[in-house]
Amino acid sequence: MEKKSYTPMMMQYLKVKEQYEDTLIFYRLGDFYEMFFEDAKIASRELELVLTGRDAGVDQKVPMCGVPYHSVKGYIERLIDRGYKVGIVEQLEDPATCKGIVKRDVVQIITPGTLIDLGLNEKKNNYLLEVEETGNNYIVSYVDLSTGEINVSCIERTYNALKGQIDTLECKEIVVSEDFSSEMILKIKENNRLTISYQKELADEKEYAHISEDISDYRAIKSINRLIGYLIKTQKRNLDYLKKARVINKEKLLQIDGYSRNNLELTRTLRSEERYGSLLWILDKCKTAAGSRMLKRWLNNPLYDLKEIEGRLKVVDSFVSNFLCRKQIIELLKEVYDLERLVARISYGNANARDLIQLKKSLSVVPEIKTLLKDSGEMDLFVLSSRIKTLPEIVDLIDKAIIDNPPLAIKEGGIIKEGYNKELDELKYISHNGKSFIAGIETTERERTGIKNLKVGYNKVFGYYIEITNSYLNMVKDEYGYIRKQTLTGAERFITNELKEKEDMILKAEEKIVKLEYDLFIEIRDKVKEVTEDIQNLADILSMIDVLSDFGEVSVNNGYARPNFNEEGIVSLKEIRHPVLEQLVGKENFVKNDIYIDNERFLQIITGPNMGGKSTIMRQIALAVIMAQTGCYVASKEANLCLFDKIFTRIGASDDLVSGKSTFMVEMMEANNALRNATSNSLIIFDEIGRGTSTYDGMALAQSIIEYIAINIKAKTLFSTHYHELTFLENKISGIVNKNVAVHEENDKVTFLYTLQEGCANKSYGINVARLAHLPDSLLDRAKQILISLEKNDASSAMKKEIVIKEVEPEYIKEVKSLDPLNMTPLEALNYLVELKQKID
């Protein structure tokens, strides 16, 4: 159909839709948001709405469906959760004063990454990620619009690095430039449930210069400005509450790749992808939503800076030793609402009066928190208190202005306290007394006329009226001044000049009251907005106090020990436990172990049966390192640790069917990532590497990996295996030692002792474990016969030949040797030099 044949209203809709082709347009018409054409078909399917048609000036009706404006939030949440974008179209003019069709336009585009007050999990950040391609790296910046937090970092330009960032941040939307690699976009879409948004324009550098003022890298600034440009385009308003961008310096963080983060179940479990059963579930007893979000960020990014780690631990020490202060702080933090998101909504312009009351209640307890820390007698808590800025003027303003239990709506009055504004009080007096007068008219008129069932009523059509039933109409006299207004079946309705005068006075007063209350509320909200940065800083420090007091409380309740750090490369953990499993099975049932690793015994081969506890022991060592470098106490009796720069793990069997990768392929990729990136300061945990292929292939690869780590990397490594033939390496290569998990065997029955001890296991007990699973006895007997036959043919002799200790030449040395500098441009040479330095580092 030609556009010119549509009605003016539909033409207006089509003009808006042209600008937002990838967005579902919610078009406001009266009390409904309507959707048309393909948008209507999508919405009717996704929201289970009835699809109807609308006359639009053409022969065929236009597909249409709609939702009531007062319940639109729930519908939008469902669409956003399914990855759609929703554009809200509102009237921009008053229909009563404009001529012709009312002007309408998009006032906001809501996307999965730009939620601020819809469907947010209070314990999670909602990050929107922007990715820039540059040289050998991706520059990624990410923002949480609901808190104003912005971060930027540099990652390796690989799919795995980008996927790891997406998974860690749990992003639902990515912003890229229009010329971003289409191949990478396709790969991202295939393997992630994400909304991809394209953004060409960058934000004005001058207007938002304060956000990037601490950043010198122009590439990072470009990424941030593209991200802000997208926010401006979708949110249609100034976003001056956004915080200064923070550079994520990987050199100061314990680096954990996406595979390892998932394997260790730091913030969600592998099976259910829920918090329950993860390390975060155990540690997060925070009392504020912002504290829970900060704790999650800390666990995803532990520190590799001893000064910062010790700084956190000293505060935890103070909370542990000062029971009374800790308990009082925890109780007060329960009164603190989500300051981060409250101040964001206030500055964004969509806060209501209840948000201000929550802000007042939160700020009211801050002076007491400050005093408790200051008077605790603990120097570290005293220093912490000095960073807290109380805001009594804001508390006083809200307390004087806003009633204690205001309505959600801000345009219907009933918000402002009596005594705050003289003009408002006068209008309320007029309105109240006018209503009292009208209420008294009924009694007065009954007495004056003698009509016993006379009553005064009100409706929106006629206003106030006097109603008299037909049986008393003969008592109405001219001197009463009644003017007939409406005839009903059983009664007549009248008005009087006096009644109309009072009605006019009341209605004008009420109209003025509603407008004045709204204006006063906006004025109050703007005054609060002036201290946005102070409230954001306060939210940050209170979140930190929440997390560190939580560490103290959890450490005391669970019997954790303070970690100490050494520079000798020692890992000594006495009576270590798995912090999650001990809670699930009960502390009394969990078997504790002692762990000792140093530079002379840095690679430990762990043998023993399935279900014997090998994976649990290795996991709990990694979790102890992460907890310690996050600034928390450790689930052990004593903890003396060296500082680790990276953690790599390969635990459990998993495939990647979406990408067409088998379990073994995923295993080799994860192993490769560790072998190429680990240093002597790293921790590697490999659980049964090589089991995904044939026995000989698996053993060969496992032995080669162990040799490579021991000779070329020398990272502290825990390598569990069922290949007992590998235990001979202890006597061949220095740094390798054998450990095993103890088992008690009696009459073909095994009891797992879950204790790590010196030496190697003498067999795998696979048949014994199968017996525990109640496999048929005849099958088990046959398996024993086959095992005896196989053991007669010793398959391990070839592996025990003399090992030639040879350090592998680094890949970058081979590359340099093959370079042809004379055929490189200056720019290519410079780029390669940067890449070479990164590889050497």
Q: What is the pLDDT of residues 272-324, one digit of tens each?
A: 789 999 999 999 999 999 999 999 999 999 999 999 999 999 999 999 999 99
In angstroms, the CA 294 to CA 631 distance is 13
> Is the pLDDT score of 518 beyond 90?
yes
Tell me what pLDDT residue 657 has. 37
Residue 25, CA atoms < 13 Å, CB-side half-sphere? 25
Mean pLDDT throughout 184-204? Answer: 90
Confidence of residue 797 (pLDDT cuts 50, 70, 90): low
Tell me what pLDDT residue 662 has. 65
SS (H, E, C) 657-687: HHHCECHHHHHHHHHHHHHHHCCCCCEEEEE
Confidence of residue 654 (pLDDT cuts 50, 70, 90): low
Full-model pTM = 0.86
Helix (H, G, I), strand (E, B), or coil: what is residue 54?
strand
Closest CA to 366 of 388, 399, 342: 388
The answer to whether residues 224 and 152 touch, using CB atoms and an 8 Å cutoff, is yes
% of the chain at pLDDT higher than 90: 66
Torsion of CA 411, 412, 418, 423, to 10 degrees: 70
Query: Which of 230-239, 610-619, 769-778 shows the lowest mean pLDDT across its residues?
Result: 769-778
In angstroms, the CA 629 to CA 627 distance is 6
Confidence of residue 506 (pLDDT cuts 50, 70, 90): confident
Per the prediction, the chain carries an average pLDDT of 90
In angstroms, the CA 199 to CA 201 distance is 6
Q: How remote is the C-alpha of 256 from its chain's centroid? A: 18
In angstroms, the CA 366 to CA 390 distance is 6
Mean pLDDT throughout 237-242? Answer: 91
> Is the pLDDT score of 806 beyond 60?
no
In angstroms, the CA 185 to CA 742 distance is 50
DSSP run (H or E) holding 558: helix 532-558
Tell me what pLDDT residue 656 has. 44
Q: The dihedral of CA 426, 431, 435, 437: what is its sign?
A: positive
Tell me what pLDDT residue 147 has. 96
In angstroms, the CA 696 to CA 706 distance is 15
Residue that the structure tokens 């394997």 belong to = 263
Confidence of residue 807 (pLDDT cuts 50, 70, 90): low
In angstroms, the CA 89 to CA 102 distance is 12
Tell me what pLDDT residue 113 has. 96
> Is the pLDDT score of 372 beyond 50?
yes
Listing from the earlier edge strand, what are the strands of the sheet with 52-54?
A: 52-54, 62-68, 32-36, 24-29, 86-91, 104-110
Tell me what pLDDT residue 808 has. 59
Closest CA to 255 of 633, 598, 673, 713: 673
Question: In 20-102, which ranges are continuous DSSP H helix?
Answer: 37-47, 72-81
7 vs 812, higher pLDDT? 7
Confidence of residue 22 (pLDDT cuts 50, 70, 90): very high
Which range among 555-564, 755-764, 774-783, 805-814 has the greatest average pLDDT?
555-564
> Is the pLDDT score of 459 beyond 90?
no
What is the DSSP pairing of strand 173-176 with strand 195-198?
parallel
Give burial (CB, 10 Å; 0-12/13-18/19+) of 378: buried
The answer to whether residues 470 and 490 touch, using CB atoms and an 8 Å cutoff, is yes
Tell me what pLDDT residue 681 has. 97
> Is the pLDDT score of 776 beyond 50?
yes
Mean pLDDT throughout 174-190? Answer: 93
Query: Which of 59-63, 335-339, 348-352, 629-633 shows the lowest mean pLDDT across its residues?
Result: 59-63
How would you classify residue 656: left for phi > 0, otherwise alpha for psi between -120 and 50, otherwise beta? Answer: beta
Closest CA to 217 of 121, 135, 106, 112: 135
> Is the pLDDT score of 661 beyond 70?
no
The answer to whether residues 129 and 112 touch, using CB atoms and an 8 Å cutoff, is no
Beta bridge partners of 839: none
Query: Which of 196-205, 512-521, 655-664, 729-738 shows the lowest mean pLDDT across its residues?
Result: 655-664
DSSP string of 723-749?
Answer: -GGGGGGGGTSTTEEEEEEEEEEETTE
> Is the pLDDT score of 655 beyond 50?
no
> Is the pLDDT score of 658 beyond 50?
no
> Is the pLDDT score of 504 beyond 50?
yes
Mean pLDDT throughout 169-174? Answer: 94
What lies within 8 Å, CB to CB, of 369 at 6+ separation is 329, 332, 333, 388, 542, 545
Confidence of residue 660 (pLDDT cuts 50, 70, 90): very low
Closest CA to 551 of 574, 579, 530: 579
> Is the pLDDT score of 104 beyond 50?
yes
Confidence of residue 641 (pLDDT cuts 50, 70, 90): very high
How would you classify residue 349: left for phi > 0, otherwise alpha for psi between -120 and 50, otherwise beta? Answer: left
Q: The dihedral of CA 389, 548, 117, 190: what is its sign?
A: positive
Listing from the earlier edge strand, what are the strands of the sheet with 173-176?
A: 195-198, 173-176, 127-134, 137-144, 149-156, 246-247
For residues 187-213, one letter each, b for 16 or more C-beta atoms within 10 angstroms of the residue's C-beta and e for the rest, the string is: ebeeebebbbbebeebbeeeebeebbe
The answer to whether residues 188 and 162 touch, using CB atoms and an 8 Å cutoff, is yes
263 vs 175, higher pLDDT? 175
Beta bridge partners of 494: 466, 484
Closest CA to 278 of 263, 257, 258, 290: 263
Tell me what pLDDT residue 191 has. 76
Q: How remote is the C-alpha of 487 from its chain's centroid? A: 63
Q: How remote is the C-alpha of 199 from its chain's centroid? A: 23
Q: Residue 452 carries which side chain, given as an amino acid letter?
A: K
Tell me what pLDDT residue 653 has. 52
In angstroms, the CA 552 to CA 534 distance is 27
In angstroms, the CA 36 to CA 15 distance is 13
The answer to whether residues 111 and 34 touch, using CB atoms and an 8 Å cutoff, is no
In angstroms, the CA 380 to CA 839 distance is 40
Angle at 379 between CA 377 and CA 381, to 5 degrees: 85
DSSP-derived letter for residue 656 is B
Confidence of residue 586 (pLDDT cuts 50, 70, 90): confident
Count of all residues that appear for the chain in the document: 841
Mean pLDDT throughout 332-358? Answer: 96
> Is the pLDDT score of 161 beyond 70?
yes
End-to-end Cα spacing for the chain: 63
> Is the pLDDT score of 622 beyond 70?
yes
